[in-house]
């Protein structure tokens, strides 16, 4: 029996439509338009694609999109000055600095210069701390999207064994925090983990965020488990370039209860959650009730 394929593209379209509905009501009832500023330093091709897509989807949701493209050699002080201006601009409710930044910049210092209330990526240490202590935080977009898909499928997650493979600040750690908040029993695995296969086999929920093509085969997966594949890996195969996840989809789909494909799974949810976070930031700034 094959797993249910979780259609992240369709799910993300629903989230974006929901956000657009809220934005329209904010405009008509309160004369407010949420604004998202995206800052790109340099010309990394993948980052340029992400930033372009973010701009398009922000405008499609009825929000204002402000794009700031700076040359790779921009001085850190100039980037900090731009962030200070965006922090002070009441038309800007969300600020996203596209990572990775050029090597001469201190990413932590840049991220922590963003007003935490406008930190729609949820990477500011204040938001990390709020999430870790179970308080109202801006939640990083990729793990938030993963959680939304899991809750949509499973409803109550409490008591389930969740294994997160990967411990980055962007995906693995916040994912684990979110699952803990849902009362899962959480294991975080990483490159030094022993017996990774056995740990994965105990997972009712398996989240793979590693960046290694197809490293998790079907026989590491508990029958019926929900598998969320965050990995995006570009490989050359059969004479063409392909995107594959961290999970070996062909074998995993035979065992899992549900699984996200790559592409078309987690990826589209990330930008949808960015829009949702920008809407949330706008409502909080205006003292209005947050959308559910
Ligand atoms: P990082 O490189 O920051 O982290 C990778 C993690 O995987 C690390 O914690 C590392 O462990 C762990 N790891 C590496 N090798 C192994 C191994 N053999 N066994 C177990 N764990 C291992 O990556 P990110 O978290 O930023 O991204 C992970 C993947 O998700 C990438 O493919 C990325 O492209 C994708 N991604 C997708 C997004 C989306 O929107 N869909 C958004 C963000 C990322 P250690 O800490 O010990 O080094």
Q: Please report the ipTM that was assigned to this predicted complex.
A: 0.99
Query: Which has the higher per-residue pLDDT, 273 or 153?
Result: 273
SS3 content of the chain, % helix, strand, coil (to 5): 45, 20, 40
- Token pair listed for 182: 């849902």
| CATH number for the domain that contains residue 254 | 3.40.50.720
Q: Report the percentage of the chain scoring pLDDT > 90.
A: 98
Does a structural domain hold residue 3? no
**222 catalytic per annotation:** no
Out of 121, 204, 229, 246, pick the active-site residue.
121
The contacts found for 121-124 with CB under 8 angstroms, 24 or more apart, are 121/96, 121/97, 121/274, 121/277, 122/174, 122/277, 123/169, 123/170
Q: What is the pLDDT of residues 54-93, one digit of tens each?
A: 999 999 999 999 999 999 999 999 999 999 999 999 999 9
CB 177 within 8 A of CB 132: yes
pLDDT confidence of 1, banded at 50, 70, 90?
low
Q: Determine whether the annotation assigns residue 211 to a binding site.
A: no
The reported pLDDT for the residue numbered 197 is 98
Asked if residue 168 and residue 59 are part of one domain, the reply reads no
Q: Does residue 2 belong to any structural domain of this protein?
A: no
Q: Kindly state whether residues 158 and 115 are assigned to the same domain.
A: no
Task: Tell me, yes or no, whether 155 and 245 share the same domain.
Answer: yes
Are 91 and 164 contained in the same domain? Answer: no
Mean local confidence (pLDDT), 167-189: 98
Domain count, the chain: 2
Number of Cβ within a 10 Å radius of residue 116: 18
Is the domain of 253 the same as that of 195? yes
Alpha carbon distance 241, 235 (integer Å): 6
Q: Is 201 annotated as a binding residue?
A: no
Residues with CB under 6 A from ligand 1: 142, 165-168, 170-172, 189-193, 196, 209-212, 230-233, 266-267, 270
pLDDT digits (tens, 9 = 90+) for 251-261: 999 999 999 99
Whether 158 and 230 share a structural domain? yes
- Do 248 and 195 fall into the same domain? yes
CATH code of 51's domain: 3.40.50.10860
pLDDT at position 148 is 97
In-domain check, residue 23: no
Mean pLDDT of 235-241: 94
């Amino acid at each position: 029996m094959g797993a249910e394929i979780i259609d992240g593209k369709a799910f993300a379209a629903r989230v974006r439509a929901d956000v657009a509905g809220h934005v329209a009501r904010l405009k008509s009832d309160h004369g407010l338009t949420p604004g998202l500023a995206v800052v790109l330093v340099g010309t990394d091709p993948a980052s340029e694609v992400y930033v372009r897509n973010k701009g398009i989807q922000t405008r499609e949701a009825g929000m204002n999109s402000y794009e700031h493209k700076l040359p790779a050699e921009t001085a850190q002080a100039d980037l900090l000055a731009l962030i200070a201006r965006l922090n002070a601009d009441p038309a800007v409710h969300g600020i996203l600095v596209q990572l990775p930044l050029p090597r001469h910049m201190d990413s932590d210092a840049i991220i922590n210069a963003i007003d935490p209330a406008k930190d729609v990526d949820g990477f500011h240490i204040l938001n990390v701390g709020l999430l870790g202590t179970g308080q109202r935080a801006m939640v990083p977009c990729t793990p938030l999207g993963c959680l939304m898909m899991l809750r949509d499928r499973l409803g109550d997650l409490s008591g389930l064994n969740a294994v997160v493979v990967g411990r980055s600040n962007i995906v693995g750690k916040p994912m684990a925090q979110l699952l803990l908040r849902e009362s899962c029993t959480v294991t975080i695995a990483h490159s030094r983990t022993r017996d990774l296969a056995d740990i994965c086999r105990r997972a009712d929920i398996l989240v793979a965020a590693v960046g290694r093509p197809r490293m998790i085969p079907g026989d590491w997966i508990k029958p019926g488990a929900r598998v969320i594949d965050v990995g995006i890996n570009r490989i050359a195969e059969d004479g063409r370039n392909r995107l594959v996840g961290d999970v070996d989809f062909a074998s995993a789909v035979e065992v899992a209860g549900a699984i996200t494909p790559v592409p078309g799974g987690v990826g589209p949810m990330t930008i949808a959650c960015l829009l949702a976070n920008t809407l949330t930031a706008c409502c909080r700034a205006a003292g209005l009730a947050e959308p559910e």
